[in-house]
């Protein structure tokens, strides 16, 4: 089983020490969005003597912005595109098989609202945002093919507190139908899917759709999985236990990259959860 740990497991620890933990624990490290800006972060990533994956908003830029590949604000769209081009290059540098990034939004929230209630209102049609998302993905997939890596898109999380007044969902690729639409429009390209199980649990509870149907619909296209748990109301990145709902699906994803995306873990915590996932993967 391909196993990695997100840097979010060590949110309050300097990255040099986190790399040391990865060496000690013998796991791949996903350099993720929560890492703060440092002028030398790319050099740290490049020189880290560990297997590593670049994810989403890594490395954090000096001037923060919300990464949104579906933004109709040209400046944000261009910044997002350039950031993801860098992510693909970072994957190639580390001989990583992919760079993963969140699907786009139909709104442009300020960065301080991410993970909380989004107050931004959707002003343009979903179709226009979708067109921009596809346009940017096509450009990135040209880069991915050139670097011989995959571009992997993560399902967004939609919590009840983010319902729009008209009941619409201002985030793309929350449900499997839109993920399948993306794959259909961009077929025969180096594109994959990342299932975030915490996102999926919350979105399914909010919108009332079936998680089993989602998982089985996208399973053939899954490159990676983010593992965490929550109570279904918000994405809290809680640790996984024997009751973790996704364990029954692990045999479907023996070749996928399994990333533990839980907050503030010890090496002992990580090892316990790694063993839990490995055991579930072997069950038939």
Each residue's pLDDT expressed in tens, for the chain with a length of 284 residues: 999 999 999 998 999 999 999 999 999 999 998 899 999 999 999 999 999 999 999 999 999 999 999 999 999 999 999 999 999 999 999 999 999 999 999 998 766 556 556 666 777 899 999 999 999 999 999 999 999 999 999 999 999 887 776 778 999 999 999 999 999 999 999 999 999 999 999 999 999 999 999 999 999 999 999 999 999 999 999 999 999 999 999 999 999 999 999 999 999 999 999 999 999 998 76
State the Cα–Cα distance between residues 156 and 104, nearest whole angstrom. 8
H helix count then E strand count, the chain? 8, 8
Q: Copy the structure tokens of residue 63.
A: 């001037």
The pLDDT, as a whole number, for residue 161 is 80
pLDDT tens per residue, range 119-156:
667 778 999 999 999 999 999 999 999 999 999 999 99
Q: How far is CA 116 from CA 142, 182, 272, in A?
A: 34, 26, 30
Nearest to 21 by CA among 277, 266, 238, 262: 266
The pairing of beta strand 98-102 with beta strand 150-154: parallel
CB 201 within 8 A of CB 211: yes
């990580």: which residue's tokens?
A: 270
Q: How far is CA 176 from CA 10, 24, 160, 212, in A?
A: 31, 38, 18, 11
The pLDDT, as a whole number, for residue 111 is 65
């390209």: which residue's tokens?
A: 189
CB 196 within 8 A of CB 168: no
DSSP classification of residue 116 = S
CB 89 within 8 A of CB 64: no
**What CATH number should be reported for the domain whose range is 2-282?**
3.20.20.150
CB 257 within 8 A of CB 224: yes
Answer whether 0.85 is exceeded by the pTM: yes
Instruction: Give the domain ranges of the chain.
Output: 2-282
Nearest to 164 by CA among 80, 239, 81, 106: 106
The pLDDT, as a whole number, for residue 114 is 62
């Amino acid at each position: 089983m391909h196993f990695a740990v997100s840097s979010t497991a060590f949110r309050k620890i300097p990255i040099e020490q986190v790399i040391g933990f990865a060496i000690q624990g013998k796991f791949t490290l996903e350099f993720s969005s929560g890492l703060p800006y440092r002028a030398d972060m790319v050099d740290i990533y490049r020189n880290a003597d560990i297997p590593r994956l670049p994810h989403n908003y890594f490395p954090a830029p000096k001037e923060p912005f919300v990464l949104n590949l579906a933004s109709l604000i040209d400046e944000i769209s261009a910044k997002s595109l350039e950031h993801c081009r860098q992510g693909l290059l970072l994957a190639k540098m580390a001989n990583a098989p992919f760079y993963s990034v969140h699907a786009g939004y139909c709104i442009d929230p300020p960065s301080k609202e991410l993970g909380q209630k989004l107050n931004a209102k959707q002003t343009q049609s979903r179709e226009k945002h979708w067109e921009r998302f596809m346009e940017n993905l096509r450009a990135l997939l040209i880069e991915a093919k050139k670097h011989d890596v995959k571009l992997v898109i993560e399902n967004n999380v939609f919590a009840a507190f983010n319902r729009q007044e008209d009941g619409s969902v201002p985030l793309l690729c929350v449900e499997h139908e839109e993920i399948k639409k993306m794959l259909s429009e961009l077929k025969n390209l180096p594109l994959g899917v990342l299932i975030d199980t915490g996102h999926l649990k919350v979105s399914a509870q909010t919108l009332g759709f079936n998680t089993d149907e989602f998982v089985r619909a996208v399973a053939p296209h899954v490159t990676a999985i983010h593992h965490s748990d929550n109570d279904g109301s918000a994405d809290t990145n809680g640790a996984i236990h024997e009751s973790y709902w996704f364990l029954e699906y692990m045999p479907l994803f023996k070749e996928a990259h399994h990333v533990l995306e839980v907050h503030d873990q010890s090496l002992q915590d990580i090892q316990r959860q790694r063993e839990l996932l490995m055991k579930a993967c072997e069950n038939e």
